[in-house]
Amino acid sequence: MVPSDSGIWKGEEERSGVSFSSGSPSPAPSPPLLYPNLGGDPSAPQFVTPSFTYTPFYCEENVYFLCKKLSLFGIADPKSNDLFAVFISNEEKQVPLFRQKASKRVDGLVVWDYHVICIQSRRDGEGRVKHVVWDLDSNLPFPLDLSDYMAETIRPLLSSSFTLDRYFRVIHAPIFLQSFASDRSHMKDPSGNWLCPPPNYDPVVAEDGTANNINEYIQIHATDQITDRSLLVDSLFSRKLGVIVGEEKLVDLFSWISSS
């Protein structure tokens, strides 16, 4: 992902206020396979965050490895059945998200071409299902309740001059981990130069040998939304590319999942 250079918000630095200077974090190597400290909450940021694979601007790969590590650490189901990869974009490839670490604005606003997060549906100590968001690029508490994340990150746009809808492609993690692939070519300019430094590990290849299909996940069209509730839930657990919902339906979708 890279910030949009649409120039919608003027007065910021080039590419919507995000600096690509040497001050950006350097690519992180794949971390050692360490389990979190068993003496505290295994999902607390101080236990798990340092162990996650993270490379700035490669959110799709960060989430791919995040799903694997959450399962490995015992924070998620061993087969990732309680995890979902979520691509956020629109037809314009201009997605305004708030509370992003890459922003220099007070409100943390960045206009990405796309973004990827992980949502987990898990039961708390009293057996209640909770939906939490893992966003490695957010400056919000980590993980965060889905409703709180939406209120802080997917804020209304206070402008009458334009409208940018934000759509969510939700993929069940076991399907995503099996099918996703990226050769990182989307992160190069026409001359073949990297837009942002790539990770220092090998690109992700799908289980069937596919080397690159990331554009299938990024391409999001409003007309592909499913409105029937039963079909929406069934499709989520069977389709390679998951399902697409608008921002007003994302919380509803996870409520339907927990009640189905």
User: Which of 59, 67, 113, 118 is flagged as catalytic?
Assistant: 59
pLDDT of 206 higher than 70 = yes
247: pLDDT strictly greater than 80: yes
**Which residue in 67, 82, 113, 115 is the catalytic one?**
115
Residue with tokens 């409105």: 227
CA proximity to 83, closest of 60, 117, 49, 55: 117
- Provide the CATH number for the domain formed by 45-259 in this structure: 3.10.620.10
Question: Among this protein's residues, is 115 annotated catalytic?
Answer: yes
The residues facing 243 across adjacent strands are: 170
Q: Distances from the Cα of 87 to the Cαs of 104, 135, 153, 244, in angstroms?
A: 23, 12, 14, 9
Q: How many CB atoms lie within 10 A of CB 208?
A: 8
Question: What's the pLDDT score for residue 214?
Answer: 98
Reference 109, options 158, 61, 74, 75; nearest CA is: 158
Integer angstrom CA distances of residue 110 from 62, 150, 234 = 18, 15, 33
The per-residue pLDDT for 28 is: 31
Q: Which of 10-24, 51-65, 98-112, 201-215 has the lowest mean pLDDT?
A: 10-24
Task: Tell which wins on pLDDT, 32 or 61.
Answer: 61
Active site residue 118: no
Residue 53: is its pLDDT beyond 80? yes
Q: Which of 67, 82, 113, 135 is catalytic?
A: 135
pLDDT score, position 21: 27
Report whether pLDDT(1) > 60.
Answer: yes
Q: What's the pLDDT tens digit per position in 223-243?
A: 999 989 999 999 999 999 999
Supply the mean pLDDT for the chain. Answer: 84
Question: Which of 10-24, 65-79, 140-154, 155-169 shows the lowest mean pLDDT across its residues?
Answer: 10-24
